Structure 1
Amino acid sequence: MSVPLLLLIVLALGLAGFFAGRMRALSVAGGDLRNLHSLPGFYGWSVAILASAPAILVMVIWIAVQPIVIDRSVSAMIPETAISDGSTRDLVMADVRRIAEGLDQAVAAGALTPDGASNIRAGLSDVRGRLAEVGVALGANVSSESLRAAQSYRSGLAAGRLGMTAVVLALALGGLGYGLARITPRFRARNTVELAVRMGLILCSMIAIATTVGIVLSMVFETVNFFGQYPWQDFFFGIEWSPNFRGNSSLGVLPLLWGTMYVSAIALSVAVPVGLFSAIYLSEYAGPKFRAVVKPAIEVLAGIPTIVYGLFALITVGPLLRDYIAQPLGLGDSGSSVMTAGLVMGVMIIPFVSSLSDDIINAVPQSLRDGSLALGATNSETIRQVILPAALPGIVGAVLLAASRAIGETMIVVLGAGAAARMSLNPFEAMTTMTVKIVSQLTGDTDFAAPETLVAFALGLTLFVITLALNIVALWIVRTYREQYE
């Protein structure tokens, strides 16, 4: 049974449990609600939760764990002799999964029977011909061991789906029956439902933490694998970036780090003053009509896709900077440059600074403004000495969000700044960033065991550390100024 159909059945059982529980509560109360501890709806929800929540939780865990278990068991079936030179066990398992998908397609098209697709004694030539009938071609390097592993992989998936269906339906039906059986007039259904809702809220809050921990651990593990093949000293202190999947690669991060910081600095030098000053004007000086037009117009910039900004940088901004500034001053003759990407990226992140700063400034209590003006301060003095210090934590958060957005941008850099990894002070030269190289190292038919691919995870972890450092600095600034203000 497919997962969506199984989920619909479980939800249907939960819905049926709600109405059945409500009706049973009314029945045991003899029609008098005063005999019940809780309202009838709570009894219905208690049955619905028991019928659906445990079954859905087990289904989610099963879906997450089953591929790992099957991969490990099937991978153990592949002998070392079946792994050819230049290949790895992971690549062989990728072929196994592809063959298993082809077998499913062949069964769906009628070229193979389900028994034939799962028969490990089937010959490679016969299965190859049957798969060719439905447009699934196997490479010449696919061995009979890979075919047997694919057949076992497919059989394991089928057995896993069958077992999951049986367990989930048994839990749903058992929960439905148990929920109905425990309904009595004194049963505290409301307390039970509120406890279940509280546990659900706790689970939802833990998902964010678990996701962050999972992301960090995945990067850490792959980064450790990378540093097991490439010296960390050469990565962190190397000034040359020239990956070569045939060996003898130079994977120094300093040129990429320099390009990332250079582009981000130019973008922030555009976005922070423009965004902050526009927020001050809109919140403290502009009239309602002007604000109603300008604020939505600024926020429209945040909804434009980054690929559009990249094309704008490539077609318009880059040639203008080249023809009217770089070439006349002898600074370069390329339309792709750090200045091009930085200016366009700065325009893109203006709404992040402007909108958030505007909301924070408007949240400053009016009593602070009135007190400052009553003491004889001018409007500009009130803004500088009262409003901005009070709104500083929010403004710092807006700038930090804009900085994180600038550091993580890819498409504008690809089209506006180029892909050259170099260290230069000239803002009109082409450079690149860490995010661009992460994409390029993971694009195409690459070996995920090679250091040239694993370096992408090291770059990602480096970006994570940089962002964490920005957060720590921002917290220090906020606490320092907040203590002085209070």
Structure 2
Amino acid sequence: MPTLWLVLIVVALGGIGFVLGRGRALASAGGDNRKLHSLPSYYGSNVAMKTIMPAMGVLVLWLIVQPFFVDATVSKLLPDAAQSEDTTLGLVMSDVRRVADGLDFAVAEGLLSPDEAQALDASSDNVRETLGAAGVALGSDVSAEVLNAAQRYRVLSATGRLFMSALVLVAALGGCAWGVKNSHMDYRARNVVEAGIEALLVTAASLAILTTFGIVLSLIFNTIEFFQRYPASEFFFSLVWSPSFGGGSELGLLPLLWGTLYISVIALLVAVPIGLFAAIYLSEYAGPKVRGVAKPLLEVLAGIPTIVYGLFALLTVGPLLMSVFGREGLGWMQAGTAVMTAGLVMGIMLIPFVSSLSDDIINAVPQAMRDGSYGLGATQSETIRQVVLPAALPGIVGAILLAASRAIGETMIVVLGAGAAARLSMNPFDAMTTVTAKIVSQLTGDADFSSPEALVAFALGMSLFVITLGLNVFALYIVRKYREQYE
């Protein structure tokens, strides 16, 4: 049974349980609401909650566990002969899943019957034609081992879905019966429903924390595996980045880190003055009508996808810089992709980030401080320089550090605007690359995840995570330590 249908059935059972629970509670009180411990809706909600929540818990848990179980079972059927010198178990399992999906599609489209799909022989002539018609792209003929594993994969997946559907429905019906049984006038339905809602809210709040822990653990384990295969001293202190999946790679972090910081600094040099001046104008000089129009227009920049900024850098800013600093101009720039190109566009992207945060911080400074400054004879510009900005400075510094974290983690602008060269250079018109761009390149394609060249992406991600986390913590420290508390 498709998962969507199963969810709809469970929700429908919850609705039926709501009606049954509410009706049974009212019947136990002789139709008099005053004899009930809780409102009638609580009794219905109690049944609906006991119907839906356990069933959904079983469904989610099963969907998480089943793929691991099926992969582990099917991988045992693959002999070592199914793996050549250039492939690994992960790549073979990818072929198995693709073939299994192709067989499922062929059955759904009527190209094969279920029995024919299970009886299909790798030596028959129509295997490749059938899978090709199903949209399965394979680089070579399907081996007997892969086809047999795919057929077994289909059987296990179908059996798992069948058991999942049965178990979810049993949990839903059992919960519904339990809730209806408890629906009598003395039952404390409100307490149970509120406790269930609180548990649901706690679970929702915990998801972000658990997700963060999951991300960190996945990075840590893969980073440890990388350093077991590649020396940490060479990774952190080597000046060369030269990956090669054939072996003999030099995987130094410093060239990538230099490109990341160089582009981020240029971006901040663009974004901070413009964003801060825009915030000062909007909060101190602009009237309500101008502010009501200018602020939303400025924040439109924050809603533009980064891929659009990347195309803007590639097609507009790069050629514009080449016309001035290229061979026909000053001769400093060899191509449109350079640190300056990516830095300028990234700075434009960060302007609304800096201006919006700074505007909120400046507006938080009490008007009484401005009035006191005016009362002492200061002009508006002197009040801004000597009263407003010093009072808002800790928050502004925090906003700048948060913008720096955003710049360090940017990918698409760098990929399209800065180039792919990993080098240590002071020339802002040279092509360079960043940590995020190399993470993408190292994990693109069917990479062998047991090689250092693929695992290095996790080490790069862990390094970037530590850097951005440190910046965020430092920003919070600055804001909290030097923040002024006003009445």
TM-score by length of 1: 0.93
Range 105-114 or range 204-213, more displaced = 105-114
Question: How do 1:150-161 and structure 2 match up within 5 A?
Answer: 150-161=150-161
CA pair 365-50 structure 1, distance change in 2 beyond 3 A: farther
Letter in 2 for 1:124: A
Is residue 326–residue 428 contact of structure 1 (8 Å, CA) maintained in 2?
A: no
- Structure 1 unpaired stretches of 5+: none
Amino acid at match of 1:359: D
Q: Which moved more, 1:70-79 or 1:1-10?
A: 70-79
The answer to which of 12-21 and 52-61 deviates more is 12-21
Residue 366 of structure 1: how far off its partner (Å)? 3.2
- Note closer, same or farther for the CA distance 1:44–1:389 as it changes in structure 2 (3 Å cut): farther
Aligned to 2:347: 346
Q: Counterpart in 1 of 2:472?
A: 471
Find the counterpart in structure 2 of residue 134 from structure 1: 133
Asked if 1:220 is matched to 2:224, the reply is no
Q: SS of 1:424's equivalent?
A: coil
How big is the shift at 1:34?
Answer: 0.9
Q: Distance in 2 between matches of 1:166 and 1:388?
A: 65
Corresponding pairs, count: 484
Letter in 2 for 1:408: G
**Cα distance, 1:290 vs structure 2:** 1.6
1:379 Cα deviation from its structure 2 partner? 3.6
How far 1:398 sits from its partner (Å)?
Answer: 2.5
SS in 1 for 2:421: coil
Pairwise CA distance, 1:334: 2.6
Q: Find the aligned partners of 1:364 and 1:183 in 2 and give their Cα distance.
A: 56
Name 1:457's counterpart in structure 2: 458
* Partner of residue 234, structure 1: 234
Task: List gaps (5 residues or longer) in structure 2.
Answer: none
- CA shift digits 1:66-90 (9 cap, x unpaired): 1011111111222223322222111
Q: Contact 2:397/2:475 (CA < 8 Å) preserved in 1? A: yes
Runs (4+) off by over 6 Å: 483-486
Pairing 1:298-313 to 2, within 5 Å after superposition: 298-313=298-313
Residues 5-404 of structure 1 aligned to structure 2 (within 5 Å): 5-118=5-118, 123-126=121-124, 128=127, 131-132=130-131, 134-135=133-134, 136=136, 140=140, 142-325=142-325, 328-374=329-375, 377-404=378-405
Distance 1:5 1:393, change over 3 A: farther
CA deviation map 1:126-183 (0-9, x unaligned): 4726735735465546432222222221111111101110110011111111111101
Cα shift at 1:61? 0.8
1:131 match: secondary structure:
helix
How far apart are the structure 2 equivalents of 1:374 and 1:20?
Answer: 71
CA 1:399–1:5 in 2, change beyond 3 Å: closer, same or farther? Answer: same
Aligned equivalents of 1:261, 1:56: Cα separation in 2: 46
Identity %: 63
Q: Which range moves more in the overlay, 133-142 or 51-60?
A: 133-142
Give the stretch that moved more between structures: 102-111 or 158-167.
Answer: 102-111
For the 8 Å contact 1:128–1:138, the answer to whether it is kept is: no
TM-score after normalising by structure 2: 0.93
AA at the equivalent of 2:252 = G
Cα deviations across residues 203-242 of structure 1 (Å, max 9, x unaligned)?
0111001111111111122222222222111111111111
Shift in alpha-carbon separation, 1:192–1:397, aligned structure 2, 3 A: farther
How far off is 1:377 after superposition? 5.0
Contact 2:318 2:417 in 1 (8 A): yes
In structure 2, C-alpha distance between the alignment counterparts of 1:210 and 1:151, rounded to whole Å: 36
Please give the alpha-carbon distance, in whole angstroms, between the structure 1 residues aligned to 2:54 and 2:397. 43
Q: 2:423 matched to which residue of 1?
A: 422
Taking the aligned partners of 1:26 and 1:321, their CA distance within structure 2 comes to 77
1:393 CA displacement? 4.9
Q: In the aligned structure 2, how far is the partner of 1:67 from the partner of 1:5?
A: 20
Change (3 A) 1:261 1:65: same
